Structure 1
């Protein structure tokens, strides 16, 4: 991985995956998709490069565990191997599982309304939604008696 004039940056210090492990994982995935990687002239690398739109040298570097710093390459790879892009980012060490979770479900300290909670929970039936909203509002107004825990917050 070079830090050259082309705008690439070194891999983040928090990369969670061993590059060689990524290469092994990718090789297993390609073989499961029917690409023969058993030898240098087996044709699997070239066939995958052609199908994915990645250069043969990029495919070789990925299989060796030489990770690109351009996430567009990983997106292209994810589409070609039919694996969700976030999983490839984690396996490639671009994000940790915790960082991915934080992006997918950010923690907020702002309170949400019962209506927003119903939306997030997917409660769409009007009767169920009304019961849920009313219960949430009732629980929010209820203060615990001395010595009891407040379960609503």
Structure 2
């Protein structure tokens, strides 16, 4: 699918607003994964097509920097090159880094208080409510370090 419906918003420099940048980036990723792309008959494109499930013509178009907008194709590509899907969406110019950040960490128009959260959750027992409110306030003030986060997971 051609990129005729691509957004006209300008992307920050670390996105890939230039199709050639995407092709160059993808070439580097494939070479890092030991696909030989040194020549038209080196076999790397065909090997990657076989390994990824993408057609050889799709691989060629991607390496030329023909920007895909089909998110299913981009997901398949992300899995095949072992890069997080959101990064591929940004590199392909489907999302800007700012758009991705707003989806990953949405900002609510208003924050609710722990008391309002307790009301919403139906916590009415005074002792349970006090524990909930205190725990919520404590958690909202602290940021776990890496080790604590691993324990929480």
TM-score using structure 1 length: 0.70
Structure 1 CA distance for aligned equivalents of residues 34 and 22 of structure 2: 19
Contact 1:49 1:56 in 2 (8 A): yes
Structure 1 residues 15 and 75, CA, compared in 2 at 3 Å: closer, same or farther?
farther
Aligned residue pairs total 120
Q: Which moved more, 1:56-65 or 1:66-75?
A: 66-75
**Residue 63 of structure 1: how far off its partner (Å):** 0.4
Structure 2 gap ranges (5+): 118-130, 140-153
Structure 1 CA distance for aligned equivalents of residues 89 and 10 of structure 2: 10
Give the number of the structure whose residues are more often helix, by fraction: 2
Structure 1 residues 92 and 107, CA, compared in 2 at 3 Å: closer, same or farther?
same
Structure 1 gap ranges (5+): 4-8, 117-127, 137-153
Contact 2:2 2:67 in 1 (8 A): no
RMSD: 2.4
**Residue 11 of structure 1: how far off its partner (Å):** 1.6
Q: In structure 2, what is the equivalent of residue 11 of structure 1?
A: 6
Alignment of 1:42 onto 2:24: no
Q: In structure 2, what is the equivalent of residue 2 of structure 1?
A: 2
**Residue 2 of structure 1: how far off its partner (Å):** 3.2
**Residue 133 of structure 1: how far off its partner (Å):** 3.9
Contact 1:21 1:65 in 2 (8 A): yes
Structure 1 residues 109 and 53, CA, compared in 2 at 3 Å: closer, same or farther?
same
Contact 1:24 1:63 in 2 (8 A): yes
Secondary structure (helix, strand or coil) at the match of 1:67 reads coil
Contact 1:15 1:95 in 2 (8 A): no
TM-score using structure 2 length: 0.70
